[in-house]
Structure 1
Amino acid sequence: MNKHYAIIGGGINGLSVARQILLDFPEAKVTVFEKENKVAMHQSSHNSGVVHAGLYYEPGGLKARLCRRGAELVQQYCLENDVAYDECGKVVVALDKEELPRLDAIYKKSLANKVPDVRMLTAGEIAEVEPNCIGVSALYSPRTAIVSYGAIAEKIAEEIQRKGGTIVFGRKVSNLTEQLNKITVHFADQDHYETTFDYVVTCAGLQSDRLAANSGDIATPKIVPFFGQYYVIDENFKSHVKGLIYPVPDPKYPFLGVHFTKRIDGQMTIGPNAFISFGRENYDGKTFNLSDIYDFLTYKGFWKFSSKNMSAALRELSTVMSQTNFVAEAAKYVPSLENVSCVPATRGIRAQAMESDGSLVDDFVIRKQGNITHIRNAPSPGATSSLAIAEYIVREVMTHK
């Protein structure tokens, strides 16, 4: 008898898992439940659109492995499905000599992760790649690319339906229960009937911890939402930057800092900052969700994180409160854009998994509980890795009896 699979969440990870099941088990019955009225309404369409090459990740970790594989699969998928893909390249720029040891460490990681064609640039060579960028040295990744993950998600959704899978919209799942190898999916709206499945994979993004805990999995890590605001710079100045210009990550700060990111529509963005969000799905920045706020304020991990990162919070707050400060941070790398005007663009919400000791969970967390598999943490490069995460879950994590 053919098995029936449920996927909870119609973002790029959920859709990729559904697609992979249908590729590996064409006779399987697959149903995706998405609470919104279309796919990819959350993190999948509120991100930078970067196809990460695998520069930063700890060699041997899931992030490193699945990012490299994922980047290849995304490129292949875009090519085969006529989705725009721009290999615009990326430089990670050291502004002073103090940053050089950290830049060198990233270079060594990128070599260990077999990032293609990566190389170091001298101050003079930076100008050959990014004519308006300054720095003492840079790491150059010419194969780093940009896409629209929303567009990829929509294409995958079409493919799922073509292959006989079902996507059910407007169905919010509250929890799962498993008995005698059968999983019942319970819906938040009691009017809907409950349905049983053989296997379930939860890909609930910003709600991943709640769905997992409500379904009997452990309570931590918990999701603490941080927003990141991007700005689009004045169109007349977008040619000042060719591709992506990133700072060297500073271990003193939990988030990367402001950088330049070319968008697949040709616009140039700067961003994002990172600050606590008053709602897990507060994309307009004008509303707040009291239960989400209560959730992080009553989590001891949040207070431990905050006490350790006060200087980082103040740095980020300065860019949240002042667009001038925001642009000034970016202009350290491209002085010709010092006074460029910009308008708010995408506002993303990062589903940051945090342990009770205040530490941020760095690697992907995928947990199996009976015949239920939970994606508990899939931050950047989660979208880049989505097709590889799907392979990993379907072929290595799930056991198909």
Structure 2
Amino acid sequence: ARADIENQIARTTMVVTFFNPAGRQQEGQVLLPVPSGAVLKSFAMEGTNGEFQAKILPKEEARRIYDDIVRRSKDPALLEFAGFGAVESSVFPIPPRRETKLRLVYEELLPADLDRIDYVLPRSESLDYRVKWNIEVNWRVKGGIATAYSPSHEVSPQKEDGRMRVRLGDRINPGPFRLSVLRRKKKEAVASFLTHPDEKGDGGHFLLLMAPPARDDDAPKLKREVTVVLDRSGSMAGEKLDQARAAALQVVEGLAKGEFFNLIVYNEAVDRFSAGPVEVTRENVVRARTFINGIRVSGGTNIHGALREAVAQPVRKGAVPIVLFLTDGLPTIGETSEKRIRGKISDANKNRRRIFTFGVGVDVNTPLLSRLADDSRATATYVL
């Protein structure tokens, strides 16, 4: 099946394969569920020039036919399509011991709930994985798609330039395929709330989909104030130090003019490139390169002292203050209690700097680094 959707208008193309196991030609009776309100555009056997006569039954008539078949005990599973319409037709001839493919195209206006648009492709839950089913959905929404979700199948949407593509392979879950998208808005967030009650109790489940406003390319970009804090204890000798130097220089050179930076290095002692963050200029970057290349390793690890220096700096007005903190070991100098380090740094961080921590090797105090990051609304990263 393939669905091409423009905003709320969906055009679905289904190719259905029939197999005649008998030794003679057969006539096939076709009853295919389709969404209520769909309009049939074409119904043809592949490899022939003409089209078959077919009609879409409204959901009330389709339900009557489903009930009649169930009463005759031919296919009780048809009741799962109650609420859908149906395409009814006869197909002749179906050659003996051969496959015949039918191509069905229908269009529909998809239902929308505020900013959410829903698409459903009916399919029986009684079919198993051996019955192949391929799905491709190409969806374009004016203004763009904020997010997409399928409550029935695992999907990995590919979004580009206001369009979205979803593909599912042969061996996918039986049952109807459902896909919802949220329309993006330029100046406000969008959200949708879905509920699913528990039929056996008083509880249930809910899903809240939210997406932020579209990025305004004309909006002024936030300036960053980045302080890089590097461990220069004896265990950082060799390749670790080379990589730390390269990373620090990459951060500084990656900042834009008008942004700010500082460098702090520590072992037993704590040294700073500058008393406070400086603006990115050619002269300051050259000075920073000299400072970084001059780092030498020795001694222990004063984590608390280095972090205290970083968070106590004055903040540049209008900039987002960030600390990038790197260590390869445990605190060995000064305050060494994990709990007290966290408490003291939290108290000293009056300007609410985000502390992104980087642990190198296997000897780091991962709980300390993770909690320092969590407490400051940042993240921790570990490299073995």
**TM-score, structure 2 length as denominator?**
0.24
Higher relative contact order (CA 8 A, sep 6+): 1
Structure with the larger helix share: 1
